[in-house]
Amino acid sequence: MSRDHVQSAPSAGAEAPYLALLARDAPAEAYEQPVLLARAEGRPADRIAVLEEAKLLALRVRAELEGRRRREAELSALFETAHDLAGLRDLDAVLQAIVQRARSLLGTDVAYLTLNDPPRGDTYMRVTEGSVSARFQQLRLGMGEGLGGLVAQTTRPYVTDDYFKDARFQHTLTIDSGVRDEGLVAILGVPLMLGPHVIGVLFAADRRARVFERAQIALLGSFAALAAAAIDTANLLTETRAALAGLEHANEIIRDGSAVIERASDVHDRLAELVLRGGGVHDVAAAVSEVLDGTVEFTEAAAAPAKALEASRAEGHAVRHGSAWIAVVAAGGELLGALVLRGHPGLDPVDQRTLERAAMVTSLLLLARRSAAEAEQRVRGELLDDLLDARDRDSRLLRERAARLHADLDATHVVLAARLDGPAADADEEAAARRRLWSAASHLAATRHGLAAARDGGTVLLLPLGADGSATELALRTARELGTAVRQPVTVGASAPVTDLTTRPETVAAAYAEGRRCLDALHLLGRAGDGAAAEDFGFLGLLLAGERDVAGFVDRTVGPVVAYDERRGTDLLCTLDAYFACGMSPARTKEALHVHVNTVAQRLERVGRLLGGEWQSPARALEIQLALRLHRLASPDRR
């Protein structure tokens, strides 16, 4: 508290009634009672003034407490919704809970959710809460119409204080009639996004004029993200159930056979068990290998025979390729790879169908794994974004969020700025390359117990630094691994090591700025695909570093000479000063020091052993002279 606040603080006697009001969580109107009572009792004006001041302070405390309770309620509701999503059984129940909680926390009269219907080319009302109009609850809207159409077109939240006076979006008779029946005035809408696509809109609305705050818009956006995730999860579950139903149907058909029937039943059971227990792609291949008495391997699309892959994709069946069989693994229009069966050249129709079903299950497992990885990447990116923007200063909450991602913010970290340096043919290719970099960086962060986020046209990573590691080594290794993953040069600039990330989140932003300066320096020096930290640039590192580490630069440059002088009582630093002042001429140096020229040569030879054979090269000589000057400035008694 500042000195002015201390001087103007009310006396303890004036605070007592307000403390009691705060303790029992009295309504705001009750805070006028002590002042009114004092006036009624004819108390002195200074006493009433003290009470007025105490009232204002108490109301401020009450507002802060209410704000914290509200934020706790919002976080609790988001957590409960995420918990519902994790145990998703009924999509309707989850969406209804999301809409109910959004309406409750925003304090609106109505909340509702619309979804797009691509086959019909329109949008329909999916869930409503607080609605009283049957017409409103059954609305179907054309694409691009109404406030929801504006949200879907721009993929951004939009709010209107007065719906019928707002000309930013397309009004239609159908929509306006429904809104008028419901009596809505102020409406806020946020998009439901699956990747880059809008699949619907979540709304909160009041029957009176109202201004929605930024925090309320962000909260509704969070609920919209959970709703989109619930829909995505339900779709994946539906696809998985459909695949399992298909496997069951295949199993019923082949039960009429003999040994072949039993093998198909066995593979069905094994694949179903693998799906239910969360098995991987290689588990599926191993199970099918055993059932078909051959060797089944999953192969990436780039490594599979192109013609056979396209034939399997076009026909929808496994195809023969030499002595092997190829079953495409695809999802929609995307090729994910292939299952290749070797050692079993003759397949009957049932075995062929088994291989095809295994390929379908493999595609579902790959999609599920990708969905989970993308969700984790988004969460990691959100935490790093919060650290970079220093938005969340609650150290306990930061630690808890990091712990859920297996990251330790109390450890020493390095912030790395990564950027692609290869040429791009067009904007689409450049965007695809950036997505590959983001994906590779996210995978690297997950395996290293760090964080990654897309920012400023590149990627920023927060990685822990090992006890024996350095920022330079980490930058070089990261540049090499990311470049290998995306198959083009990736340049990485690293900050100096940073600590106390939970208590001082602003250090992450400063370290990122330092890493970007190193990245720009590497680009200007033509070192594409390289990695470096500020300390690698010699005296230029002083300009690149966020905090000028003068002592560190001096120690790295002439530290061995300083230490030698201190141990032996010599004065090699003085000899170096004179040597450079005399234009690196030993003859002039011996005159300046009043010693024999052999003495100068011996001292310079000692300096060479301490600093290395390249110490007199132009670049090193410049750094040494700067370090000597800084050392003199830091040690006035040596002047």
Domain 390-544 = CATH 1.10.10.10: no
Characterise 159 by phi-psi region: left (phi > 0), alpha (psi -120 to 50), beta (else).
beta
Pairing of strands 295-299, 451-455: unpaired
Domains 88-240 and 390-544 share a fold: no
Residue 542 scores a pLDDT above 50 = no
Q: What is the mean pLDDT of residues 456-480?
A: 87
H or E element in which residue 552 lies = helix 550-568
pTM to 2 decimal places: 0.37
Could you tell me which residue, 473 or 249, shows the higher pLDDT? 473
Q: Identify the pLDDT of residue 110.
A: 95
Residue 538 scores a pLDDT above 60 = no
For the ranges 51-55, 344-348, 620-624, which has the lowest average pLDDT?
344-348
| Structure tokens that stand for 536 in this block | 């690698």
| Structure tokens that stand for 155 in this block | 């993929």
Spatial separation of the C-alpha atoms in residues 115 and 585, rounded to whole Å: 82
Residue 422 scores a pLDDT above 90 = no
Q: Do 518 and 540 form a contact (C-beta atoms < 8 A)?
A: no
- 463: buried, middle or exposed (CB in 10 Å: 19+, 13-18, 0-12)? buried
Q: What is the mean pLDDT of residues 268-273?
A: 67
Could you tell me the CA-to-CA distances from 70 to 60, 63, 390, 391, 499 in Å, in that order?
Answer: 15, 10, 21, 18, 32
The set of residues, in sequence order, having a beta carbon less than 8 Å from that of 86 and lying 6+ positions away, is none
Spatial separation of the C-alpha atoms in residues 607 and 598, rounded to whole Å: 14
Let me know the angle formed at the C-alpha of 601 by 597 and 602, rounded to the nearest 5 degrees: 115
pLDDT band at 3, cuts 50/70/90? very low
H or E element in which residue 94 lies = helix 91-106
pLDDT one-digit tens code per residue, 29-75: 777 788 788 788 888 888 788 877 877 877 777 767 666 666 656 55
Q: Identify the pLDDT of residue 2.
A: 41
CA 575 to chain centre: 54
| Structure tokens that stand for 232 in this block | 């995505």
Q: What is the mean pLDDT of residues 16-34?
A: 76
Pairing of strands 122-129, 413-420: unpaired
Q: Identify the pLDDT of residue 266.
A: 64
User: Quick count: other Cβ atoms within 10 Å of Cβ 264?
Assistant: 25
- SS3 assignment, position 205: strand
The closest of 124, 127, 126, 154 to 140, measured between CA atoms, is 124
pLDDT band at 310, cuts 50/70/90? confident
| Structure tokens that stand for 352 in this block | 């062929």
Domain 278-372 = CATH 3.40.50.300: no
pLDDT band at 639, cuts 50/70/90? very low
Q: What is the mean pLDDT of residues 580-604?
A: 85
| Structure tokens that stand for 343 in this block | 């050692």
Q: In 423-489, which ranges are E strands?
A: 451-455, 458-464
User: What CATH superfamily classification does 88-240 receive?
Assistant: GAF domain (3.30.450.40)
Q: What is the mean pLDDT of residues 492-499?
A: 88
Q: Tell me the domain boundaries of the chain.
A: 88-240, 278-372, 390-544, 550-634
Q: What is the mean pLDDT of residues 573-599?
A: 85
Q: If you write DSSP's letter for every residue of 256-300 in order, what string do you get?
A: TSSHHHHHHHHHHHHHHHHHHHT--HHHHHHHHHHHHTSEEEEE-
Residue 546 scores a pLDDT above 90 = no
pLDDT band at 326, cuts 50/70/90? confident
pLDDT one-digit tens code per residue, 124-167: 999 999 999 999 999 998 888 889 888 988 889 999 999 999 99
Could you tell me the CA-to-CA distances from 403 to 94, 407, 446 in Å, in that order?
Answer: 27, 5, 12
Average pLDDT, rounded, for the chain: 78
